[in-house]
Structure 1
Amino acid sequence: MSQPTQSSKSATPYALPDPLLDLLTQYLQEQVTPTIEIDPTQLAYRWVGGHNGHLAPLAVNLFLSLDDLQGIEKQKAKLVQNTRQFLKGYPANHVLMSGTRGAGKSSLIRALLHTYHSEGLRIIEIARDDLQVLDKIRAAINELPADCKCRYIVYCDDLAFNGQDESYRALKSVLDGSLDSEQDKLLVYATSNRRRLLPQMMKDNLDIYNGQTDEVNPYETIDETVSLSDRFGLSLTFHPMDQQTYLQIVQHYLILEQQKILANTDTMIEVGSDEGSLPNPIRTDALRWASERGGRSGRVAYQFSRYWSGKTQLAIEDSKR
């Protein structure tokens, strides 16, 4: 009986079964983030697909200007100043905008892009659950040509974490903590309905006061819950608006809607041209609209203007039949 040759021994297959090999390949692909490429001519991107996702270009609608956002003049002025410093290459801060819902926090980001995209402002939108790829996005921005004049705001909407969520640590590192966290082409602008991004529990304080905690240094737990929001150099708080401000915003948006309608038809509906001159029927409807939605805000005012303009225009067309 002949002995197997050396060549036949080396040809003996030791490969993994195909199903197991497929699973291994899939696992490795899920662990590796694809190379991120950024085109400076693209105004905005959104990260999609989770950990192994990609930057998807956004077709942005630049219809909203800073002048359209009323009732938040102080917050707007501070945000504009910080953004202008950033675009000029001067020192600027990461920004946390927190407070009441519908006050215009997210709209300010779109309005900034409308106003400053010609000066090099670019936006990258990223969800809270995808913050682990933030460092790779930062690296891709750093690899842009030295003569690239674009500046990137990484925008995270509705930012908040629970006590078991560890993804906030990636954000902490980018904001202030890693060796290369200081850079001149990237800032993080985040919005949240919660001023403290990590929850603070009453039981934590009670455990400290009553000596029931197992921690040797229990106050460090409290420090950890506030450390993330403290790393945003600029914190802007948005408060509920009063009735007069709400009605002024309603009138402003109604005028804008009427201008759009007039551009396509010869119909003009009187909504008052002077500030505070909103006709009583519209005023009453606007206040009822806000009451039914639990409060006054810029978002509620905008939604009412679209409702009232559309309803009124449709009624006019129906009456002509």
Structure 2
Amino acid sequence: MTKPHNRLLTRIAEALERIAPPAPEPVDWLACPAYVWTGHGARGVDRLEAPSLDHMRGIDLPKAAVVDNVMRLASGAAAHDMLLWGSRGMGKSAVLRAAVNAANAVHPGRIALVQALPDATLPLLFGQLRTVPRQFLVFLDDLGFDTGDTEGARLLRSWLEGGVEARPANVRLAVTSNRRAIVERHMAEQDDPINPRDVVDDRLALADRFGLSLGFHACSQDDYLAIIEGYCAAMDLAFTPGDALEWSRRRGGRSGRVAWQYVTELAGRAGKQLD
């Protein structure tokens, strides 16, 4: 006869099994052009949405550098980790997605973009990707560390250069940030009497770990109009510079994102749908 306390333990164990989350499904790292890392598994993205590279104007130099580096990675050649920094809305993440699409057009299925967070689960992702016969660009979007967050910056330096949990040979990191130093700095640090240069250098050292550090600067009026012209030409939309500039004034600035929002407005006015 089963003892009462054994029956109770059995019921508790069965209840825990019912409420426990199911084990994550195995990830097919060869099936999709992009993935989102959830911390314990990944979700495949069947189609990587990105504008055409030809339509992305006003960022010609950094765009060319990103495309060339991603193409190298897809081909199996030596490639850099990348830091894309600068003004908001200037296409930092969009150009990464577009570059991966362009690389897969030349080298079908050879590279995938993996969006992740810079947390303690990133080494688990590296462990899964290490044995996959494919190249990966791990994408950390809009990264920034607060002044007191030394652990996050230290981990990122370790992942980039030779730490025990460094990213594997078939993986490169692409980080976007609004500031080059990534870690927030204050002018007061330069007046610190205790090793002031060391404080500043330590915060800049993280940016120096990237083989490519590319600035995406606020666009001029001419660049802003050129971006709109590129989109409108591809979509057969008409616009006037005065209307486009008025839109930017109402939005409080000029950027690639503001230009795209204006193009969306034009398409809506014309009764057209954007792909």
- Please report the TM-score for the alignment, with normalisation by the length of structure 1: 0.72
- Find runs of 4+ consecutive structure 1 residues off by over 6 angstroms: 11-14, 33-36
5 Å-filtered alignment, 1:130-209, equals 131-144=119-132, 148=133, 150-165=134-149, 166-179=151-164, 181=166, 183-208=168-193
5 Å-filtered alignment, 1:86-165, equals 86-118=73-105, 119=107, 120-128=110-118, 131-144=119-132, 148=133, 150-165=134-149
Counterpart-to-counterpart distance in 1, 2:13 and 2:271: 63
5 Å-filtered alignment, 1:209-224, equals 217=195, 219-224=197-202
- CA distances 1:29-77 after superposition (whole Å, capped 9, x unpaired): 99xx9797442122111123xx5x4211123344522112111111111
Partner of 1:264: none
Partner of 1:294: 252
In terms of Rg, which structure is larger? 1
Name the SS of the counterpart of 1:98 in structure 2.
strand
Residues 85 and 180 of structure 1, relative CA distance in 2, 3 Å threshold: farther
Residues 207 and 39 of structure 1, relative CA distance in 2, 3 Å threshold: closer
Partner of 2:35: 45
Letter in 2 for 1:44: A
Are 2:72 and 1:58 aligned? no
Name the SS of the counterpart of 2:228 in structure 1.
helix
> How many correspondences in the alignment?
264
Counterpart-to-counterpart distance in 2, 1:100 and 1:136: 32
Letter in 2 for 1:133: T
Contact 2:89–2:255 (Cα < 8 Å) also in 1: yes
Counterpart-to-counterpart distance in 2, 1:12 and 1:203: 68
5 Å-filtered alignment, 1:9-88, equals 37-48=27-38, 51=39, 53-62=40-49, 64-88=51-75
Residues 183 and 285 of structure 1, relative CA distance in 2, 3 Å threshold: same
- CA distances 1:218-274 after superposition (whole Å, capped 9, x unpaired): 54433321221111111000111221221121122123333xxxxxxxxxx6x2xxx
Q: Mind listing any 5+ residue stretches in structure 1 that lack a counterpart? A: 1-10, 259-268, 272-278, 315-321
Counterpart-to-counterpart distance in 2, 1:185 and 1:191: 20
Contact 1:64–1:114 (Cα < 8 Å) also in 2: no
Residues 92 and 63 of structure 1, relative CA distance in 2, 3 Å threshold: closer
Residues 36 and 223 of structure 1, relative CA distance in 2, 3 Å threshold: farther
Residues 63 and 162 of structure 1, relative CA distance in 2, 3 Å threshold: closer
Alpha-carbon distance, 1:205 to partner: 2.1
Letter in 1 for 2:268: G
Alpha-carbon distance, 1:138 to partner: 1.1
